[in-house]
Chains A and B, each alone.
Chain A
Amino acid sequence: MFDPNATVLLAAILVPLFAGVVLAFGSGYTGGMRRGVALGGFGYPLVAAFFLAFRFDPAQVGAYNFESKLATGLDSFGIYLHLGLNGISLPLFLLAGVVGFAAGLYAMFSNAERPHLYLALMLFMQSGLMGTFASVDIFFFYFFHEFALIPTFIMIAVWGGTGRRTAAMEMTIYLTLGAMLSLLGLVSLYVTSGAESFSLPELRDYLATHPLSETLQANIFGLLLFGFGILVSLFPFHSWAPKGYASAPTGTAMLHAGVLKKFGLYGLLQIGVPLLPVGMAHWFPWLAWLALGNIIIIGLVTIAQRDLKLMLGYSSVMHMGYAFLGIAAFSVVGAGGALLMMVAHGLSVALLFMLSTCIYHRSLTFDLGAMGGLAVKAPVLCAFFVAASMASIGLPGFGNFWGEFTIFMALAETEFTRWLVLPAALGIIISAIYGLRAVANIFFGKPKAEFAARWDSDEVKDLQGFEKTPAMILLAALVVIGIFPRLVSDRADAELGGLYPIKESLPQFETTAGTPAVSGKEQTH
């Protein structure tokens, strides 16, 4: 059974990898050749993602489109390079293509030292990203994620900004801890299920007929929740994220915050909750309270930030709380909302990180208190930034709105989660406060003393072509999802509908209306 589309999918991983190898090991490239190779490496996944999205057959619910299975010599463990896309992974695959292309485009024209190495590492990262979301096999799902992480560390250590030494190290250790915990979770899932396979559909089919005991489910889900949680900066395991993003070079921050970080949420959506529903029910109070921690506590911390990049880093941590809440809602609607939120947040945070670097190139500072009035000199930059901030706050018209809206809907659906809506909605006010204040500080008012002194220099100018194009791409994608959220949700709904069990059927949710934190404690014993 030869499927040409499967080859297109495999090539989406291999082409950036190959382009990266060409750039890393070749020498004597001119700027044009370098950009040509990089354009090919970033362009192909984008084209392939859209091509596959159009060929995607939504009728195949429960199965994967464009499947291919290659032996890697670990057959005895049931590990294959098994690729394919379903309704959950397709939107993220597209997201990786779009954000990767935008980040690559921006990086091609940035003035990094040793640009061929910089682009090569970004291409390796891109290859890993495409692989993560195209993997059906949970071994390779993890494998590609780690493969994309290594370039992140090196890029931060080499091309990062202030404090990169400690930031890269803290991020490395934190993320390794998260990755090891989730690896343990995945391995324990493999071992305890007895399915003798790392393939997700096979595990799912096997677990459907041989469900795990409640203790096992709870233990494994705990490993996955905290492992993935660390990778997605779940409160209080978030401290690596703002510092890491603040010191990361722009392209890296865009790819990591925009796409790679979604790995953990994707793992919970695709693997954790569908395979271990009882475990999820067990950990529900933890997840809900910690997600509220993300929204409220980190939201307040974000308000206190004076540094633009740190503020963006914290705000991205804060918005992850919504995605966690969507998962905690434990329903098809909630999971779909989380998925929408992940895609929209990926686009908006990548755009914001990119624009913040554009602002830095003009003001030479990230200090929000030392800017001002930039709208006069750079109206287009201002427009983009305002639009991106609005999107990130969750205004209608952008994808984020639908994500948050759907998540609130899902929370309000059942009595059990209804209490979460109010504190979660408070988060919107919080993000409006810091978002709008940042816009006001940067673009309006009078420029502060140091900035005013440079006011007439050539550097203070509007967005250039190479900055505009990626910004346009990201903003267009945000608006398209904002207007037609069905592009994402239709396919995801069909898939999620088959995966998510009906919550009311689980014993945890039958008896315990009211205060879930207390019920959670009872369940532990």
Chain B
Amino acid sequence: MNEGLADFLRGIAATNEWWYIMPEILLAVLALGLLVLELLSPAIRKHVPRVAMGGLGLILALLLMVDCSDCMGANGQSAFGGLLQSNEWSHLMRVFFVFSALMVSYLGGIFLAGRNLAQSEFYHLVILVAAAMMLLVQSNHFVMLFVALEMATVAFYVLVAYRRTSSLSLEAGIKYLILGALSSSILLFGIVLLYGAGGNPALPGASGDSLNFDALESFIALNPDNPVVLTGAMLVLAGICFKIGAVPFQIWVPDVYQGAPNPVTAYLAIASKAAGFMVLLSLLHGPFLALQDFLLPVLVFIAAASILFGNIAAVMQRNLKRLLGLSGIAHAGYLLIGVAASFTIEWVDNAVVFYLITYLLASFVVFLVLSLSGEGDDADLNIERYANFSREQPFLSGALTCGLGSLAGIPPMGGFVAKLLLFVAAFQAGLYGLLGVAVLGVVISVYYYFGWIRALYFNGSSVTALGEASNAPTLQNRFVLCALVVAIVVLGIFPAVVSLV
């Protein structure tokens, strides 16, 4: 052990920086505690889901009471020798990820009930992913970023293939593993190129710590035209585009979404995408700030291609989970409009976060209804099977209508305000072409979202009704759905509740 490392550790111990990541530590303790509980006795094993959700709820409540990023001092202060840095969204995104982990655990409880699958490992992995993503969005260093990203991704490899008796789930697992590993290696290659360029003493501004975002930012500002830097930035961008499922790195999305268990699909759609976008924003506002002239056309192209591909491919899709995956590509495209506009318009970051929040709420409504209405294998849920659903399940249909309405961006749902804010931003940034594509995309998306709603309410079909096969939702499920729908509507009418806009 060299002296430097010892000094470093001594410094951390002296300043007690561990407090900064208390929520993540608590989550890790909870995740590991679940595994211990499982070992104790079969009687306790039954309570694992309750302990997991109770623990997540407790951490969420603590987070809502104590703003942890305050511990790190003012915004922009870094901890752990520059590995982590809080920004204006770190607190909100922590709440976001813990809440999604809670909702995914809730969905998991429904999914695992009556299935002969391991219980506590599921919750364990879900909680670990949440902790990893919380670290990911605060990372200020490429090593931290990569470690956190891999921690989440490896857990996802397991989660996607969790239903090991289903060939679709296993296929999804393999596909996600291979393509995920590929994208990680692309990302890593990009990081290495940036590191190499940043450490080249022949170039101005070279530093010994060119994996650090701040050092890299000042280096790239001095060398914006260096081909190695540009290649590296492009590769990093490609790696992240894989995570958010943007064109041309979207090919895994439909298969994985379909094969993965319902709660995992929801987790991938919501948390994984959100983490990707937050990383993208912090990279574009940090190290890659000087590259905006180079990156803007790339982002605009990716956004337009994602919107068009996602929406057009979803039009003919009959499988609902694939449809959600494809429409998720389109949503990534809308969000990329915000990212592209954020170079020139300052408040757009808030609009992106707001969009992510409305997307989270609406998607959980949709996935919860999917979980409650599926029986047996949920990978083969086709739109036809929802024919006449509202007759047997008026409550679920109403909630699903609200969720889909928000995804389609219809007032008074939150999704409308979110889209409107992005459109205003695109206008101000002068991205007219992208705006036209986005409007076209919204119109196309109405076809499949309303096609689904129409199936719910359409009378007189002879197709075997899924509604009869599903049980009426329990009081608990009704309560959760009601709360989510109310939150969507409140965000649509009074967006100030999230203090972003």
Binding site for B on A (CB under 8 A): 24, 71-77, 113, 117, 139, 142-144, 146-147, 150, 153-154, 157-158, 165, 168-169, 172-173, 176-177, 180-181, 183-184, 187-188, 190-192
Contacts and interface: CB of A to CB of B under 8 A. Distances in A.
Contacts of B454: 153, 157, 165, 168-169
A150 B405 CA distance: 9
Closest 4 CB pairs of A and B: A73-B496, A191-B427, A146-B411, A176-B446
Chain B: interface residue count, which band?
35 or more
Contact of B443 (A117, A168, A177, A187): A177
B501 A187 contact: no
A74 B501 contact: yes
A74 B423 contact: no
Contacts of B451: 169
Interface string B268-279: 000000000000
A187 B410 contact: no
Given A143-B412, A157-B457, A176 B424 contact: no
Contact of B494 (A73, A113, A165, A173): A73
Interface string B396-431: 001001000100001110001100110110011000
Contacts of B347: 76
A76 B427 CA distance: 16
Contact of B450 (A73, A143, A172): A172
A158 B410 contact: no
Given A158-B390, A172-B447, 4 more contacts: A71-B496, A72-B493, A72-B494, A76-B347
A173 B447 contact: yes
B495 interface: yes
Contact of B453 (A139, A154, A180): A154
Contact of A158 (B411, B416, B435, B457): B457
Given A154-B457, A158-B457, A184-B435, A77 B442 contact: no
Q: Secondary structure at chain A's binding surface: helix, strand, loop or mixed?
A: helix
Contact of B497 (A73, A77, A169): A73
Contacts of A168: 450, 454
7 contacts: A72-B494, A72-B495, A74-B495, A74-B501, A157-B454, A169-B447, A183-B423
Nearest to A180: B439
A180 B408 CA distance: 12
A181 B405 CA distance: 19
A146 B394 CA distance: 23
Among B394, B442, B446, B501, the one with the most A-chain Cβ atoms within 10 Å of its Cβ is B446
Nearest to B446: A176
A73 B443 contact: no
Contacts of B411: 142-144, 146-147
B459 interface: yes
B458 interface: yes
A181 to B, nearest CB: 7
B410 A180 contact: no
A113 B390 CA distance: 13
Contacts of A71: 496
Nearest to A158: B457
A172 B446 CA distance: 7
